[in-house]
Amino acid sequence: MRGVALEKVVKRFGPTVVIPELDLEIEESEFVVIVGPSGCGKSTTLRMIAGLEDISRGKIHIGGKDVTWLPPKQRDIAMVFQSYALYPHMDVAGNMSFALRLAGKPRAEIEERVRRAAEMLELTDFLARKPKDLSGGQRQRVAMGRSIVRDAYCFLFDEPLSNLDAKLRSSMRTELAILHKKLDRTMIYVTHDQIEAMTMADRIVIMDKGLIQQVGTPREVYNSPLNTFVAGFIGSPSMNFLEGELHSDDPVKVKGQGFDLPLSPEMTAKAKRAPRKDVIAGLRPEHFAVNASRAGSSESTYAKIDLDVSVAEYIGSSQFLAATIGEVPVTASVEVGPTTEPMTSGTYLFDTSRLYLFDRESGNAI
Amino acid sequence: MTDRASSDTDDLGRPGFNIRSLNPYLFIFPAVLVMVCGLVYPVVDAFYLSFYDWKIGMPFETAPFVGLSHFKRMIFDADVWESIWVTIRFGFWTILIEMVLGISLALLLEKPIRGASVFRTIFILPLMVSPVVVGLIWRYLFDARIGWINYYLGMVGIEPQVWLGDAELAFFAIVFTDIWQWTPFIFIIIIAGLQALPSEVLEASKIDGANWWQHILLVKLPMLKSIIVIALLMRLIDVFRALEVMYILTGGGPGRATELLSLHIYNRAFDTQQLGYASAISVLLILLVFGLSFAILVFSDPLKEKSDI
């Protein structure tokens, strides 16, 4: 197939197994973000695709070609590094044209391609500058420009925005998404920041301990996380986990220390197939609410839940509540409008149609 | 105006005197003192002596003031010019070969291949040997009758050579010895520089399609430029200072074939006992070294380049 494919790829560093076995298929012109905590193997995976890291077993295909044992330059890839990795002794034009010069392209073509990439990235005025005379954001653009001029089949990004400040990061995110539309190339992007993953990706690959935990669109991984790791990793602030037991009352309920929530009809159906009664209830902070009028009516999916609030963080229209349910610390995000006083302990509401249940032993979604 | 600003400035906000502003000078004072005693004083003294015709054994008070006549004499002194020429030739060949060898070996042994660290350790041993010992070792090795070099050359059918007795061969011998001792110095500096290069930049060049040669010539060496220039500078200064090894190996001979400028100054001062004239030549040596170093620093500005990476 076209695109990028990893087949049963294994990576060991000496006796340490970093990637036990990895299978991943990425469609042509897809924007895939590999996300996970430090040391989950995401950068190693990207470096194996780039050919900067040999693989211990398995196969890698790029654009339908087996590239497993080809050096990086024969893989038709371009890569943007976290540290930008610009050549300090070359000016911006030199950095951007380096690959084309090595490939022996005609001079006119090199100039044209560099000019076009520079225009696209608003670097035209800086072509004669050395990297040290540029700001972080400009350096980042040069690094992008260097990969754009290559017109490679596949673009690899290794945490390219993590050295930028928050504001610049968010604008570069948008630019990258636009760039992907314009270039229509396969892009693989590694980050530890789930916001970058959610905002840019066609599909997200979530990794932990060298294993793929879930692959899916941003909507899928947010709405239907396969296990507690994915559920906790995707979403900000992250999901609260409470230990509880299923009780087959009518309606079926999940009860634990400090909470007693009825299940939605869909969840009830799923809960009946659960292997055991011991579960973990997953409550996203944004599914808490304050408006009591929503509760009680038969159609309402909201149920009451007591929060012992220790701090309310004001962030404009909503407030983040650092609280406890029973003795478990939780975070709730409630929309109360910009003028409301800091919220205090009391009875809040939770949207039970958005409740997640996980098996307590395996951590897998029920 | 804040409290702090008002204590450092007068009513108009201009900087005024503050005892704390002396702190930095206080802290660098010991270093300056050592520099003045160890470095500035001898240089100034040599300059001062160069105006007197002072010979060993003569009280300095009785030495006649001769003004610039030592310098005038130096201009027409064929021996001085000859030793400068020997020094230039010596410096050219040793530095050229040490640079090429040291950089090449560093590039080859940089990779963590098996045995590289053992070889690296063996390779820097010459650097740890005192120059006097180096001179002695190589004097025996080059010895025409009992030296190993002639012995092994004899095994492959080459006639024994009078290494230290022939002008060309003696020059070759001092160049060879210097290369043996100082290539490791270049090697160490370059390998340290190579290991400090940002790995992502080197990987970027691989992805950009650079082959082995392009990787070294277009990326690695240009990024090492500042370190190479500093190594070059240090070796250049060393060439003008080199004394012990030649003194023991050849004593400057045969004739004047291996008499470097430093050795020439030494011989003038202690063999012919002309301390004043030797001081004048030292001043020339200092100016030469200073001029060369200055030219290289201005030309390449290695300290500024360093901040690129």
Assign A16 to helix, strand or coil.
strand
* Residue A280 to residue A260: CA distance in whole angstroms: 13
Tokens of A103: 């490939």
Q: Are residues B248 and B197 in the same domain?
A: yes
Per the model's pLDDT, the better-predicted residue between A301 and A110 turns out to be A110
Structural domain includes residue B294: yes
pLDDT above 90 as % of chain A: 46
CB of A84 closer than 8 Å to CB of A140: yes
Say if residue A37's pLDDT is above 50.
Answer: yes
Answer yes or no: is B63 within a domain. Answer: no
Any chain B CB within 8 A of the CB of A70? Answer: no
Q: Is residue A33 predicted with pLDDT exceeding 90?
A: yes
- Does the pLDDT value for residue A282 go beyond 90? yes
B117 shares a domain with B26: no
B121 and B209: one domain?
yes
In a domain, B140, yes or no: no
Strand partners for B15:
B9
Mean pLDDT score, A201-215: 93
Residues of the domain holding B28? 3-39
* pLDDT value of position B101: 94
Three-state DSSP state, A10: strand
Strand order in the sheet with A203-208: A77-80, A154-158, A186-191, A31-35, A203-208, A211-216
Residue A85 has its nearest CB partner, among B203, B209, B214, at B203
Q: CB contact, 8 Å: A197 with chain B?
A: no
| C-alpha B287: how far from chain center | 15
**pLDDT tens per residue, range A125-156:** 999 899 989 888 889 889 988 988 988 899 99
Q: Is residue A219 predicted with pLDDT exceeding 90?
A: yes
Q: Looking at residue B198, which CATH number applies to its domain?
A: 1.10.3720.10
* Cβ distance of A79 and B207 shorter than 8 Å: yes
Instruction: Walk me through the domains of chain A, giving residue ranges and CATH numbers.
Output: 4-227 (3.40.50.300), 237-359 (2.40.50.140)
Residue the block writes with tokens 């820097």: B124
Whether residues B200 and A82 touch (CB distance < 8 A) is answered with yes
| Cβ atoms A365, A224 nearer than 8 A | yes
| The predicted structure's pLDDT at residue A285 | 93
Q: Does A77 touch chain B (CB under 8 A)?
A: yes
> Does a structural domain hold residue B108?
yes
Cβ proximity of B170 and B163 under 8 Å = yes
Structure tokens belonging to residue B278: 């030797």
Shortest distance between the Cα of A76 and any Cα of chain B, in A, equals: 9
Helices (H), chain A: 42-50, 92-102, 107-120, 136-148, 166-183, 194-200, 218-223, 228-233, 265-272
Mind giving me the DSSP string for chain B?
--HHHHHHB-TTS-B---GGGGHHHHHHHHHHHHHIIIIIHHHHHHHHHTTB--BTTS-GGGSPB-TTHHHHHHHT-HHHHHHHHHHHHHHHHHHHHHHHHHHHHHHHH-S--TTHHHHHHHHTHHHHS-HHHHHHHHHHHH-TTT-HHHHHHHHTTPPP--TTTSHHHHHHHHHHHHHHHHHHHHHHHHHHHHHHS-HHHHHHHHHTT--HHHIIIIIIHHHTHHHHHHHHHHHHHHHHH--HHHHHHTTT-STTTT--HHHHHHHHHHTS-BHHHHHHHHHHHHHHHHHHHHHHHHHH-HHHHHTT-
Q: List chain A residues with CB under 8 Å of B223.
A: 87-89
Worst-scoring range by mean pLDDT, A39-43, A180-184, B302-306?
Answer: B302-306
Domain match, B111 and B229 both: yes
Is residue B251 left, alpha or beta, with left meaning phi > 0 and alpha meaning psi from -120 to 50? left
Task: Answer yes or no: do B189 and B98 share one domain.
Answer: yes
pLDDT over 80 at A299, yes or no? no
Are B235 and B295 found together in one domain? yes
Q: Mean pLDDT per 10-residue run, chain B (309 residues)?
A: 47 65 88 88 86 80 80 84 90 94 89 76 86 87 81 79 80 89 91 89 90 90 89 87 84 80 86 84 88 81 52
- Cβ of B200 within 8 Å of Cβ of A81? The answer is yes
Q: Are residues B112 and B216 in the same domain?
A: yes
The pLDDT, as a whole number, for residue B4 is: 46
Q: State residue B306's pLDDT score.
A: 47
The band of A240, judged by pLDDT with boundaries at 50, 70 and 90, is very high
Share of chain B above pLDDT 90, in %: 15
What single-letter DSSP state applies at residue A28?
A: T
* DSSP class per residue in A82-115: TT----TTS-HHHHHHHHHHHTT--HHHHHHHHH
- pLDDT in the model for residue B1: 41
Residue A232's pLDDT is what?
92
Residue numbers in B near A77 (CB within 8 A): 207
Confidence (pLDDT) at A69: 92
With a CB-CB cutoff of 8 Å, which residues 44-63 of chain A face chain B?
50-52
Which chain A residues are within 8 Å of B219, Cβ to Cβ? 87
Q: Are residues B249 and B182 in the same domain?
A: yes
- Surface-to-core class of residue B288, CB atoms within 10 Å of its CB (0-12 exposed, 13-18 middle, 19+ buried): middle
In whole angstroms, give the CA distance from residue B197 to residue B225. 12
Domains: count for chain B: 2
B207 in a structural domain: yes
State ipTM. 0.80
The rounded distance, in Å, linking the Cα atoms of A124 and A122 is: 6
B11 and B119 housed in the same domain: no
**Average pLDDT in chain A:** 89
Are A77 and B222 an interchain contact pair (Cβ–Cβ within 8 Å)?
no
Judge if B184 and B276 occupy the same domain: yes
The answer to the question of residue B14 being in a domain is: yes
CA–CA separation, A223 vs A231, rounded Å? 9
CB–CB contact A89 B204 (8 Å):
no
Q: Which amino acid is at A239?
A: M
In the chain, the amino acid numbered A303 is A
Question: Structure tokens of B253?
Answer: 């001979």
Report how far residue B248's alpha carbon sits from residue B257's, in angstroms, rounded to the nearest whole number. 14
Domain assignment present for residue B229? The answer is yes
Residues in B touching A85 (Cβ below 8 Å):
198, 200-201, 203-204
- Determine the pLDDT at residue B3: 46
- Rounded average pLDDT over A202-206: 94
Ramachandran bin of A151, using left for φ above 0, alpha for ψ from -120 to 50, beta for the remaining angles = left
List the single residue in B with minimal CA-CA distance to A154.
Answer: B207
Statement to judge: residues B296 and B197 lie in one domain:
yes
CA distance A212 to A362: 16
Q: Does B66 or A191 have the greater pLDDT score?
A: A191
Per-residue pLDDT band for A251 (boundaries 50, 70, 90) equals confident
Residue B46 belongs to some domain of the structure: no
Are B97 and B194 contained in the same domain? yes
